[in-house]
Chains A and B, each alone.
Chain A
Amino acid sequence: MTFHRGSSRSYNKRPSVCQFCVDKVTNLDYKNLDVLVKQTDPEGKIRPRRRTGTCARHQRMVAIAIKRARHMALLAFDRGSWI
């Protein structure tokens, strides 16, 4: 019987570079839905930095923009888990 050391859970390695830094983004508008939808998962949650590789500074901008878009009913707070 073989014993697998560590967990067998697969994980995706975090991208090493922040995409927003590559694009030299200085401010992120809440109306920019093309970008913001990519930063949410199918349920509508904000994707964590460990999945997207976004740097801390840009993750703050993403979080604020998504919360503003949710307030203005451009993004859903909860899209449900049925997808």
Chain B
Amino acid sequence: MRNYEIAVIISPDLNDQSLVDLKETIKDWIISSGGEVALVDDRGQRKMAYQIEKKREGHYISWYSSLLPSGPSEVERQMRLNENILRFMIIKSDIPVEPNEKSMSVESDSNVAETAASIGISEEITEGDKVTEVEVDEVSGEEQEEESG
């Protein structure tokens, strides 16, 4: 068993229920290939640096898991068949102790730190997601203004 990070960009067009279902399905792929999920890092929806399949935003999720030697190819084969997965990457990686600390560069790092300090570690991830979602909305709003103007 070796530790991997399975990073996935999911299509932003999915509704909440099908997103939950897809996350469940990917978890099943990992487990059915003989692996174990140690940590799920859901970084929320975010603007991509370039368009993928005509989409400007994507939902970023990473599964930190340990897989058998045959695991990566098995998971990769399943990922290629799913159209809602825009991009994926399976890399050798240790499981981070604090996933949000060195996570994506979000301008509201201080906010996340404050909420973590006041509420606790279990609440940190959900709070961070809310903050990032709000930011994405702001960014997309500005972008629309630019396009219309």
Contact = CB atoms under 8 A, between A and B. Distances in A.
Interface in A28-42: 29, 31-34, 37
Interface residues of A, number: 16
Contacts, number: 37
Interface size class of B (residues with CB under 8 A): 10 to 19
Interface string B16-59: 00000000000000000000000000010000111010000010
The 5 tightest CB contacts between A and B, nearest first, are A73-B48, A33-B105, A76-B49, A34-B105, A73-B49
Nearest to B58: A73
Interface of A: 27, 29, 31-34, 37, 68, 70-77
A7 B93 CA distance: 47
A73 B105 contact: no
A75 B105 contact: no
A31 B104 contact: yes
A68 B91 CA distance: 9
- Would you call the interface of chain B mostly helix, strand, loop, or mixed? strand
A76 B104 CA distance: 15
A71 B91 CA distance: 12
Contact of A73 (B52, B94, B96, B102): B52
B104 A72 contact: no
B136 interface: no
Nearest to A36: B105
Contacts of A31: 43, 102-104
